[in-house]
Structure 1
C-alpha cells in the first residue's frame, strides 16, 4: 500500500509539473495585454487632442483611437513588438484640420519614431521646432498641407532622414535652406518646391544623393544670392542662372560639366559688381578661361582642362584673396603682377601644371598664407621676397627644378607650419652657425631628394616646439586660412610613409607630424635632439651618409609609426629601447654597418627580414643568421628559462586541477548511484 501510494503521489506531482510548465510556456508566448508604452500613448493622445476633427469622415484614422486601449492597435500606428516604442505614425489624408502646435507637440516626444506621414491633412501654420527631436526619423511626409513661415533650423538634427516631402507648403518667409549631404538613397527629389519659396536667397544642396537631374528640373523664382550645387551630378551649366542677377556666391564644383563657362554669366545686369566667390573646380571646363568680374574674392578653377598661359587679366582682380588653378594644363610663366596690383592675395595654388621659368619676385603678395606651386617645371633661385610674408603657414614647391641653397631666412616666418622642398636641386648645408634653426610651429618638414650636405649639430631640433609638445593653438589668421572655401582647394603633398609614397590631403595635415631628409648627402651623426620631437609620426633619414650609432633618445618618440634609417653608414648595436615604441608599425635599418643581436620585442620581431638586410654584423630573428658565442648562449638561456617557468606554471596548475576533478567526480558518481537506487525502489 505504501509503495502504491507513493507511486500515485509521484505521478500526480509529474502531471502538476507538466501542467505548470505548459501554462508558463503559454503565458510566455502570449503578448502582454498592452504593448504600447504609457509615455508613447500619452504623447499620441495629446497629439489627437490638438485638432478639431472633421467629423465622421471615413478616412479619419484617429476616430478609432481609445485612451483606455493599447495604442499599438490604433489605426495608423506601428510599434516595435519587443519594446512597445511607436515606430510609424501614418495619418495620411486624415483631415486633422489645424496647426501643429509648437508649445505642447507631443510628436516630439515620440523619440523612437522612424516614419511620420501627415500628408494632405489640412494642416497649416509654422512647422514646430520639436520635429528636430525625432533623431531616428528616416521618412517625413508633410506635403499637401498649408504650412507657412520658416523651415525650423532643428530639421538639421535629423541625420537619418532619407525622404522629405513638403510640397505645396507655402514657406514664404524661408530665406535660407541647407540640404547638403542629405542621403535620399538615390531617390527622386521634386524640385518644384523651390517655386513656392519666394523669399529664398541662400540654397545649399551640395552632395545631395539623388538621381534627379538638377540642370533640367531646378528652377528658382526668388533672387538667389548664394547657391551651392557641388557634387550634384550636373552635366551642363545650369541655364536657370540666366535669370539670377543678385548672385554673389556660386559653387558648382565636383560635377561633370563640359565645354566653356558661358559668357552670358558675366553679362547679367549687376552681376559683374556683386559676385565674390566662384568655384568651378573638378569639372571638364576648357578654354577660353572666363573673363572674371573685378569684385571676385575667391576663385577656384582647379581640376579642369584649361591650358595655355595664365591670363594677365587676373592681375587686375584687385579684390582677389584666393586663387586656385591646380591640376590643369597651364604652361608658360607665372604672371608678374600680384605684389604690385594685389596685396590682399592670401592663397595661391598653381600645383600640377606645366609652368616654367623662374618664380618672379613680383608674384609674391606680402599677405600670402598658403603658396603651392609643386609639380611644375619652375627653375632658378628661390624667391627671397617670401621673407616678407610673415603670415605664411603653408609652403610647397615639390617636384620642380629650383637650384639654390637652403633658404635660411625661412626661420623669420613665425607661423610656418608646412615646409616642402622635396625633389628639387637645392644644395649645401641646412645649418648656419650664425643663427638658430628654430621652427616653433613646424609640423611637416620635407627636404628629401635634393643635394643638401654637411653635418647637423646635436641640438639641431631643440627649437621645434610644435613637434615636441603639440600645445600650439591656431590663431585667428589660421582660422581665416581654413575658413571660406577651404574644402574646395585642399592642400596636398606627397609623404613617404612606411616605405610607400602617399598623398596627404586636407584634414590629414592635422594628424601628421613628420620629418623627411632622405635622399641627400648629409654626414655626421644623427642629432641626439631628435629625441625631443615626441609628437612626431614619421621620420625618414634614409639614403644619406650618417655615421655613428643610432641615438637611444629615439625611444622617446612614443607616437612614432614609421622609421627609416636605411642606406647610411650607421654602426654599433640597435638600441634595445626601440622595442618600447608600441606604435612603431614599420622600420627599416637595412644597408648600414650595424652589429650584434636584434633586440627582442613585438614591434621589432614583426618586421620583415628585409628591414635588417645588408648589415654584416646583425644577427638573430627575423634574420636567418643566428648569433654566435655568448650572444647566442644568452638568448638560448633566456628561452630555456622561459620554457622552464612555463612548465613549472603548468605543473602547479595541473596537480590541483586533477585532484579537484577526482573529488568532484567521486561525489557526482556517489550521488548518481544513490539517486538511481531510490528511483527504482519507488517504481518497483
Structure 2
C-alpha cells in the first residue's frame, strides 16, 4: 500500500495516484502529495533555449532521480531548479504555489533565468526551510511578509530581481538568519531591525532604501555589510563602532553624513568603501591601518592627511577638502612600491615633498592635480580628474581663510 495515502484523500486523487504507481511501479517511492506538487511545478516552468534541465523529469519514473530533486525517504528535502553549471540557460515561467506542499523541503534554489511573477505566499508553509535562493530572475511584487514564519531560515537570497516595496520587519525578525542578500532590486523604505545575532552577511546594495539607520538595528555579528547605491542618510558614528567584526564594508553612493569614526580603520577589513557620501570632519585612524583599499573620495572631509594612511595599498582621498602638505612617509612608501594607488586630486593640499626627478615605480599611480600647488611631478591621472593642474588662487585663499 502506498505510504502517504491518508484519511480524507478523495477517491479521485487515490485513483489518480494508483494510476501513477501502476505505470511507474512507484509504490513507496515518494509521498503522493510531493509527487503532485512536483508535477504542478513542472507545468509552470519551461527550459529556456539551450537548456535540457527538465529532460530527466519523466513522471513514469522515480522523481527522486530527477535532476535537482533530493529526497530523504519518501519526501523531497531539496529542490534546485535549473542547471547549476555556470553559463547554462535557465528556466522561464512562474513559480507554482504548489511548492508549499513540499512539507519537508529544507533547501530551495533557482538558477538565473527568466522566471517572472511574485514569490508564492505558500513558501511560508515550508517550516523546515533553511536555504532559500531565487536570484537573477525577474521575480516582482513585494517580499511576502509571511516569509517571517520561516523560523528556521538561515539564508535568504532574492538578489538581482524586480522586487519592490519594503523589507518586511517580520522577515528581518527571523532569529536564525545568517545570510540576507537582497541586492539589485527596487526595494524602498528604511532598513528594519535585524533580530538575528548570528547574521554575518547583509547585502542590500543597488536598491532605493532611504532614511537613517538606528545604531541598534544591525547585529554585532556582521562580517560583511554592503549598502551602496541607495539613498540612506544620517550619521553612522554610533553604528559602526559596534560592528567590529566586519571584514568588508561598503556604504558608497548614499547620503550618509557626520564624522567617520577612527576605530573602523583598525577593523579586520580588506576593502573599505565610503565614497560619494556627505561625510565631513577630519579623519584620524585610531591605530595602524592594515586595510588594502580605502576609498573616502567625493565627500566633504577636511584637515590634514593622516600619515597612518600610508600603509594602505590603494588610497582614494580625492574630491574632498584636505589641506596642508602630504606627509613624507607617503613619498617613501610610494617610491618603494608599497603604495599602488594614491589619489589626492581635487583637494586643497599645498605640497608634497617629492623630488621632481623621482622615478615613480610603474606599478604605482599618483594623482595630485587641482590642489593649491603646482604638482611637483607629472603623472597620469584619471580622465574625470579634469585637465586643470592647479586650483584657482581665489579658491585656495578662501578655503585657507
Say yes or no: TM over 0.5.
yes
1:314 equivalent in alignment to 2:178:
no
1:180-579 paired onto structure 2 within 5 Å: 186=50, 191-192=55-56, 196=61, 200=65, 203=68, 223-229=76-82, 232-237=90-95, 241=99, 244-267=102-125, 271-272=126-127, 274-290=128-144, 291-292=146-147, 293-335=150-192, 337-338=193-194, 341-413=195-267, 415-431=268-284, 435-436=286-287, 438-440=288-290, 442-457=291-306, 459-464=307-312, 467=313, 514-530=314-330, 531-532=332-333, 534=337, 536-549=339-352, 551-552=354-355, 555=359, 557-560=361-364, 562-571=365-374, 573-574=376-377
- DSSP-derived class of the 2:301 partner: strand
Deviation, 1:462, is 4.2
Tell me, which stretches of 5 or more residues in structure 1 are unaligned? 1-171, 173-183, 205-220, 468-513, 579-583, 595-613, 615-684
- DSSP-derived class of the 1:308 partner: coil
Q: Which residue of 1 aligns with 2:11?
A: none
Deviation, 1:326, is 2.0
RMSD between superposed Cα atoms in Å: 3.5
Tell which has more relative contact order, 1 or 2 (C-alpha 8 A, sep 6+): 2
Deviation, 1:202, is 7.6
Deviations 1:515-547 (A, max 9, x none): 211111111222332342635544322111122
- Paired positions, count: 329
- DSSP-derived class of the 2:209 partner: strand
* Contact 1:536/1:557, CA 8 A, preserved across alignment: no
Deviation, 1:331, is 2.3
> How far apart in 2 are the matches of 1:315 and 1:232?
29
Q: 1:275 to 1:593 in 2, by over 3 A?
A: closer
Deviation, 1:392, is 0.1
- DSSP-derived class of the 1:326 partner: coil
Deviation, 1:389, is 2.3
- DSSP-derived class of the 2:329 partner: helix
Q: 1:537 to 1:287 in 2, by over 3 A?
A: same
- DSSP-derived class of the 1:571 partner: coil
* Contact 1:235/1:255, CA 8 A, preserved across alignment: no
Structure 1 or 2, whichever has the larger Rg, is: 1
Deviation, 1:310, is 1.8
Q: Paired residue for 1:592, among 389, 393, 396?
A: 389
Q: 1:295 to 1:202 in 2, by over 3 A?
A: farther
Q: 1:194 to 1:224 in 2, by over 3 A?
A: farther
> How far apart in 1 are the matches of 2:155 and 2:381?
42
TM-score, normalized by length of structure 1? 0.43
Q: 1:286 to 1:589 in 2, by over 3 A?
A: closer
Q: 1:371 to 1:593 in 2, by over 3 A?
A: closer
Q: Which has the higher helix share?
A: 1
Deviation, 1:346, is 0.9
Deviation, 1:555, is 4.6
Q: 1:520 to 1:573 in 2, by over 3 A?
A: closer
TM-score, normalized by length of structure 2? 0.71
Deviation, 1:232, is 0.9
Deviation, 1:390, is 2.5
Tell me, which stretches of 5 or more residues in structure 2 are unaligned? 1-28, 30-47, 393-401
- DSSP-derived class of the 2:239 partner: helix
Q: 1:428 to 1:586 in 2, by over 3 A?
A: closer
Deviation, 1:344, is 0.8
> How far apart in 1 are the matches of 2:246 and 2:377?
40
Deviation, 1:258, is 1.7
* Contact 2:219/2:243, CA 8 A, preserved across alignment: yes
